[in-house]
Structure 1
């Protein structure tokens, strides 16, 4: 039975840390409704870990609510906020096909992940590189994929589950193909202009 902890008769803990701990205990006990109430109260009182936990929990099903908490975290300069907002933009990106819809979402996702990278989360480079790679923006993707490859090699905890190194090789080849095509178009245009001029 769910108890209303927010009624006037409730004996709700007064400080945000106690609220957060109570919420975590309720989560462990799988009392999700009550856990949410405690975590929400703690987050509303400014408890950063409660905000992170709520954003993570809501991120699975209630994206709009998760967005609100990730935004609050980002406003506080929390890396989890930047990463969460990047993840939500990337999620929306997977739902659209038209370039006019994709481009702003790519820029939004990359922008949030860049903030995470600037704040010290080196793994954000992986996300940036992969997003840009999927959009065929190879020139932009390559530096991030190079950073990611080095990061994965140095950190044994990181698994190359995204095959970053192979994507880096493919991106370099694709960039070279794009460069050659541009040169051929330019040379072809020069030849046509020369031919017309004679």
Structure 2
């Protein structure tokens, strides 16, 4: 399993959360780190983006030797990084979960505004499934609705093979999956605690591990 994302120094999200989820699901985790963050439970205080070249080298070096059964992306931060990731993944045929991380739970912006179009144009067509939360789905589609079915349909129309809009936000705790043919509502528990930082990373990493294991 390969995660292409950013480091969370607090260990709650990002690369650290992905690797923990992979291990819990019985998968060997590998990583390509695209940015370093100074981050804790209260927020993100600094971001240091890596060069597109080193991002390409990490992905290529891992996949050309160890290979992978699936991959996922998390916080990618900039257009240049997204382009590098897409260039390296194109043609490899890997199941890919794209978690379009845009804003941290604390409110810090984790995707530059000019990178949103690059994300949808370059990575959505490579994705087996995209997994935005409700605010991310609304921002990506330009739709203000909480109708997850409509949002998921629009995300698929934008190029993703399938979309799963997660249930952590909004009035109704439901994950909603649309695979281009049918809709599936998945009721989920919503826990009354503040420590939900990294939930989307963990969710998408577990989904990627399941795809790697051959599950639909």
Task: Determine which structure has more spread, i.e. the larger CA radius of gyration.
Answer: 1
Give me the TM-score of the superposition, normalised by structure 2: 0.30
Higher relative contact order (CA 8 A, sep 6+): 2
The structure that is strand-richer by fraction is 2
The structure that is helix-richer by fraction is 1
Give me the TM-score of the superposition, normalised by structure 1: 0.32
